[in-house]
Amino acid sequence: MRELVLVLPDLFLRGAAPTSSAGASLTSLRFAAPHLMRGGWRGTVARGVGRDDLALIDEASVIDAALRLDDGRDGHGDRVDVWIATPVHLMAGLKTVHFPANGVLRLSEDEANELSAAFATTFGEEGLALYPAGAAGFVLRGVAAVGALTVEPARLIGESLETHLPSGAGSAELRALASEIEMWLHAMPLNRRREVRGEPGISSLWLWGGGQPPRDPLSPTRGASRWSRIVTDDVWAQALGRLSSVPVSPLPESINEIFGDASLESVGESLLVIAPTLGVAADYFDQAWVAPAVRALREGRLGRFTVAANDRWTSVDPGDRYRVWRPHRTVFTAVADGGA
């Protein structure tokens, strides 16, 4: 394989890098110095598939465009503002509300459909509609809040929400709707059933990823992609593949399954893999996604290994093992803040 790019989409470190919970050593490499990613990982990926234009479009519009294509519609004549609505579980402290480690929720298909139908009953007359969108949660259509500045929920883990609420033009509409949704969810039977099962309740739908809609409907356009295939369950990346005509495969349990696939491991193949880290122990993630790539480098089956996370990227190739002046780093320390 010519190149493997591994994106950790939900790893946003503000302190020490994760270490092994079992006390084992994580895979060590001599990495090049990390570099900042312009526009974060999504901007880097959009440019990488040859769709520079989508790096300037909000995430919700990209996902919504793909949903409309799957529904057999291109969106002409019924353009509405869209936002991502991610189910979240919030914790109330003595003075503030904060985002716990299990704050980003992923609902089952049945739960998502139930929530969407109940939302239509309560908010449909206001012109609002909620569409299930896999791991992203939902796409919310009908809220005019252009210019509102929002924060991706994965960036808020462990943070207080006070300074991360929507701001700027249009933010009042988002805040008001979020408050209504929070009160509506509080009495939902779905939440009662989750609590009985010992699962975190749905405190709210975190509204984000909108405010920069395209002027014209988005349509599939093939560009000069750096990668021949995207391997991911990330909804935005799946939508990007749909709009850039790059094949997308579901994420396996381990990168070993990719290296075991002769069609993917061919010499000229270049893959983009997007693997989440939330809820996954550092040592397990290391053994499932990093160690196999390191072995492939050493065995000459992989030409280059790039990791992107924490708004940084860093690469290693087989020759890096001869650069003895470079410090040993794990993937996590390589992309940690200040880890140059």
Claim to verify: residue 172 and residue 140 sit in the same structural domain: yes
Claim to verify: residue 189 and residue 112 sit in the same structural domain: yes
Whole-number pLDDT of residue 77: 43
Claim to verify: residue 70 and residue 163 sit in the same structural domain: yes
Q: Which residue has the higher pLDDT, 15 or 145?
A: 145
Claim to verify: residue 92 and residue 145 sit in the same structural domain: yes
| Inside any domain, residue 314 | yes
- Mean pLDDT over residues 41-62, rounded? 92
| Inside any domain, residue 340 | no
In DSSP terms, 84 is beta-bridged to 139, 208
| Inside any domain, residue 339 | no
| Domain limit, last residue, from 166, 186, 208 | 208
Residue 270: exposure state from Cβ atoms within 10 A (0-12, 13-18, ≥19):
middle
Claim to verify: residue 70 and residue 25 sit in the same structural domain: no
Whole-number pLDDT of residue 325: 47
| Inside any domain, residue 72 | yes
307 closest CA partner among 279, 275, 281: 275
Sign of CA dihedral 186, 190, 195, 201: negative
Q: Which residue has the higher pLDDT, 267 or 118?
A: 118
Round to whole Å and give the CA distance between 319 and 309: 23
Kindly report the number of other CB atoms within 10 A of residue 167's CB atom.
16
Residues whose CB is less than 8 angstroms from the CB of residue 209 and which lie 6 or more positions away in sequence, other chains included:
58, 59, 60, 63, 83, 84, 150, 152
Round to whole Å and give the CA distance between 215 and 327: 48
Q: pLDDT category, 91, cuts 50, 70, 90?
A: confident
pLDDT at 19 over 70: yes
Q: Look up the domain containing 26 and give its range.
A: 3-57+218-334
Round to whole Å and give the CA distance between 88 and 178: 12
Round to whole Å and give the CA distance between 11 and 311: 9
Claim to verify: residue 195 and residue 71 sit in the same structural domain: yes
Q: Are 4 and 305 in contact (CB under 8 A)?
A: yes
- Mean pLDDT over residues 201-225, rounded? 88
Claim to verify: residue 226 and residue 253 sit in the same structural domain: yes
Q: Are 183 and 120 in contact (CB under 8 A)?
A: no
Whole-number pLDDT of residue 47: 93
The single-letter DSSP state of residue 75 is -
Claim to verify: residue 202 and residue 223 sit in the same structural domain: no
Q: Are 99 and 156 in contact (CB under 8 A)?
A: yes
| Inside any domain, residue 261 | yes
Round to whole Å and give the CA distance between 180 and 330: 44
Round to whole Å and give the CA distance between 267 and 130: 44
| Inside any domain, residue 118 | yes
Claim to verify: residue 267 and residue 163 sit in the same structural domain: no
| Domain limit, last residue, from 166, 190, 208 | 208
Q: Which residue has the higher pLDDT, 23 or 322?
A: 23
314 closest CA partner among 17, 2, 5, 9: 5
Helices (H), ranges, 71-199 = 109-123, 171-186, 189-196
Whole-number pLDDT of residue 324: 47
Claim to verify: residue 69 and residue 151 sit in the same structural domain: yes
| Inside any domain, residue 104 | yes
> Measured between alpha carbons, how far is residue 311 from residues 18, 264, 307, 329, 335 in Å?
16, 27, 11, 17, 8
Q: pLDDT category, 111, cuts 50, 70, 90?
A: very high
Could you report the per-residue pLDDT of 287-312, keeping only the tens digit for each?
Answer: 999 999 988 888 888 999 999 998 98
Round to whole Å and give the CA distance between 67 and 63: 6
| Domain limit, last residue, from 188, 208, 228 | 208
Claim to verify: residue 315 and residue 267 sit in the same structural domain: yes
| Inside any domain, residue 16 | yes
Round to whole Å and give the CA distance between 70 and 74: 9
Number of domains composing the chain: 2
Kindly report the number of other CB atoms within 10 A of residue 71's CB atom.
10
Claim to verify: residue 173 and residue 142 sit in the same structural domain: yes
